[in-house]
């Protein structure tokens, strides 16, 4: 897409609502800056950002505890330096050290619960929420967090009542 004011590629895309009307602007960096839009481009590629995150938030392992993936041979230290896993087997090999890192990155989440399409009706969304609550309830009972489990049970019961 090209800039609305010149033939340069548009790197800034704005949507404004003015008097109830949607106005889209597509601008290059120069015209965005001229229009007063702060443009701060990160020079660091995503790999570099991930590497910094991993190094900052993951525990380093002692030399005598060197773990390696049985499938690709990658060590935990190599992962810490690169910020990328070598293969799907690395998830299992580094599970103990990787889970706290993933939970921190995903605000406490450690499993994919999926997304509902925007066109999904309320029944589908309610079913998805009910399944999520039941999983959390099972985890709370397994970890003996009974007060949390009771609250989750009440939420499940409420959703089931609303469904009828």
Is pLDDT above 70 for 57? no
Q: Mind listing the pLDDT tens digit for each residue in 116-159?
A: 565 656 677 788 888 889 999 999 999 999 999 999 999 999 88
pTM (global) more than 0.85 = no
| CA 24 remoteness from chain centre | 27
Residue owning tokens 């790999």: 47
pLDDT at 159: 84
pLDDT at 64: 36
Residue owning tokens 């890192």: 101
> Which residue intervals of the chain are DSSP H helices?
29-34, 46-57, 76-82, 89-93, 95-105, 122-142, 146-163
Q: In the numeric block, which tokens belong to residue 88?
A: 């799907």
Alpha carbons 6 and 104: distance in angstroms, whole number: 43
Is pLDDT above 80 for 5? yes
pLDDT at 152: 92
Q: In the numeric block, which tokens belong to residue 160?
A: 């089931």
Q: Mind listing the pLDDT tens digit for each residue in 33-55?
A: 887 776 555 555 556 666 666 66
Is pLDDT above 80 for 62? no
Ramachandran assignment for 22, one of left (phi > 0), alpha (psi -120 to 50 degrees), beta (any other):
beta
Alpha-carbon distance values, 61 to 76, 80, 163 (Å) = 8, 10, 49
């Amino acid at each position: 897409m090209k800039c609305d004011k010149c033939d340069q590629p548009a790197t800034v895309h704005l949507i404004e609502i003015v008097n109830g009307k949607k106005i889209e602007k597509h601008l290059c960096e120069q015209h965005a800056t001229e229009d007063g839009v702060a443009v701060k481009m990160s020079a660091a590629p995503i790999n570099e950002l991930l590497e910094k995150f991993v190094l900052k938030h993951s525990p380093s392992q002692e030399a005598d505890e060197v773990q390696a993936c049985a499938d690709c041979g990658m060590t935990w230290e190599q992962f810490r330096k690169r910020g990328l896993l070598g293969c799907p087997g690395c998830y299992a090999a580094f599970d103990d050290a990787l889970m706290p890192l993933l939970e921190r990155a995903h605000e406490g989440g450690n499993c994919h619960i999926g997304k509902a399409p925007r066109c999904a009706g309320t029944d589908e969304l309610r079913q998805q929420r009910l399944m999520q609550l039941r999983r959390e309830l099972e985890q709370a009972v397994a970890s003996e967090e009974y007060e949390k489990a009771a609250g989750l049970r009440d939420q499940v019961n409420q959703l089931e009542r609303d469904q009828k």
